[in-house]
Structure 1
Amino acid sequence: MRHPPGGYQVARIGEDPEAFEAFYREHVQAVLRYATRRSRDPHAAADLVAEVFLAAISAAVGYREELGSPIAWLHGIARNVAAAEDRRAARSWAAEGRIAGRRLLDGDDIARLEERIDAERDCRALLARMAALPAGQRAVLELVAVDGLTVAEAATVLGINQVAARVRLHRARRSLRDAPETTAPEFAQLLSSPMEAR
């Protein structure tokens, strides 16, 4: 079995601290970008990152390389964790886990996460425009243009075939091109299609 770039086996991150540390270091920035785009405060972002890696540890024994790359697998976990958190937040915004997460952050952590969230503001504006797209189109566009996955990896995360993923991506980009807001330069990456060939 070939190993990912970090040299660890993903399936071992739940039982091998060194494998987990290598996995965490390689992917934490991608998960943090995902979390800060979806969070309005540093505590929620930190909680989401922690929950994603805890879920990855629990799911690691079931990881199979032939079903997708480690980053695609981790994005799938992140989407599931974020969706579960959204459901919990809808039932009770003052969940005990959020309070516990706040106690783990010091002033420097909060300042860094606030800077990160501010830096992601433009991205959140783009995501707000994307919210008008049908869910399937939005999901593929976000995974490819925002999270940097290939079309094949996005298809794996979403459990659809690559042809369906390419069609959804094309339709999403066409819808955004037709909107007047897409003259802003921030839309350039969303509307470009270098990843579609992959």
Structure 2
Amino acid sequence: MYAINHAATALLIKKNNPKLPLFPLLVSVQLVEVLWVFFNYMGWEYFSISDGKVHLDFLPYSHSIFSGVAAAILSFCIISWGYKNKKLAIAFAVGVVSHVMIDVIFHEKDVQLSPFSSTPVWGLGIIDRPILNFILEFAYGVFCWWYFKGNRALLWVIIIFNILDLPMMLAHDDALTPFIHYPFLLPSVILFQIFITWYFVYRYAHSKKNISSSASEAI
């Protein structure tokens, strides 16, 4: 799943916890991906390009089931004990785990059980069917907006970023050549996507309409 729709998952969590700050929730649903970027920069994880497609060959430290659960537990302990906020700790942990669970649906079979075992691996491979991938991600992002009861500006953010992701979904062969020659480009593009979606989702989810709606629900 691309950055905008992982970010949209934070809206689901926020809706069920209206008093919690949104930004930590946005971080939680993308923490796994930020780790993937860092591990790629360090050379600990890597991808390859073959048959005209990007393959995430090795990402067990950031995207395995064990790593996702471990990161969620560690996050829970830090926030619960260090910041004395158990509700935020639970919500943050849910956000961390959500990333891996969603990626199991969209990825190729590259999500391992743990960094310590190469099998079994999971992934339904929806990413290999770009049009289906786009439709499902688009529908999921709009659903998150609808469930959150966001404003029109937030809806446009989700729509526009999904459309902007379409060329990358459809990219193949020569379009992927720069990533072969400059491997740091792909994690850099993804990191940029994460930051820019954090900014726009946070900005437009905090309109007066959404704040007043959350306040009334809390009452």
Pair in the same fold by TM > 0.5: no
Provide TM-score, normalisation by structure 2.
0.29
- Higher RCO, 1 or 2 (CA under 8 Å, sep at least 6)? 2
Structure with greater strand percent: 2
